[in-house]
Amino acid sequence: MSDKGYVHPDMLVSTAWVAENKDADNVRVVESNEDVLLYSTGHIPGAVHIDWVRDLNDAIRRDYLNAEEFTALMGKNGISPDTTVVFYGDKNNWWACYALWVFHLFGHTNCKIMDGGRKKWTAEGREMSRDVPEYAAADYPAVERSDAEIRAFRDEVLAHIKDGLPLVDVRSPQEFSGELLHMPGSPQEGALRGGHIKGAANVPWSRAVAEDGTFKTADDLRAIYEGEKGLSPDKDVVAYCRIGERSAHTWFVLTYLLGYENVRNYDGSWTEWGNLVGVPIENPSRQ
């Protein structure tokens, strides 16, 4: 990896590193996409598929999988506690960062992102495969999910607002203004009210990514988050979007590329906040 000034550059690996190390016994490459059918059209040879809907979310409650389900997911994909997991995917690693964030909830922090994702891998003409790999089942102990450090809930966000602490809304400007309830081009559903959480600053998640799909340099990122929006590494920051996936990407940028020590992802995000009764909302489109 070239030196881009990141605080934790070891959280990223290059496409060349993946090509050289993807078959190592202690490495498991994981593809996670918005388009859950994309994996079947071709993927990095040896990579397993983790579907954000089927594999990471509880089938009944608005929550994530439990300890037993996470253990089963790891086991069937041949991932043990000491396995280095390298995530990549479509949409500039948006969903790869989301999957990594969920892994961190279970304490599996030996995770990395392949900088550039599918976009860079395919642009370089690297090998793709449709073969679905099979790995020997791994032993993975049941570990209870820990939400305290990197996940924010509704009441914590209310307290955050009361204390005047920074919030980052990583949705599109149209969602932030209240003009749209979902990303442009998507069905406008999921919330009864539009707008943003009172006091939030808008930094669309994709601004952190360069044209080739890799992350921008630390200097460029600081110019956006700190120069434009006034964030600083010493503050307690909460990021949110619509369901917490885009904000997981920003959580990764702030935490590992810029070294912020207290960043939480509010995964309830706008589908929860926009349906709550009596919470503080700002809606410029109706002013």
Percentages helix, strand, coil for the chain, rounded to the nearest 5? Answer: 35, 15, 50
| Catalytic residue numbers, as ranges | 241
Task: Give the tokens for residue 129.
Answer: 């495969």
Residue 155, CA distances (Å) to 8, 139, 158, 250 in order: 31, 37, 5, 21
Three-state secondary structure along 221-244?
HHHHHHHHCCCCCCCCEEEECCCC
Q: Are 229 and 222 in contact (CB under 8 A)?
A: no
**Residue 110 CA from chain centroid, whole number:** 15
**Residue 205 CA from chain centroid, whole number:** 10
Distance CA 181, CA 190 (A): 7
How do strand 48-49 and strand 27-31 relate by DSSP bridges? Answer: parallel
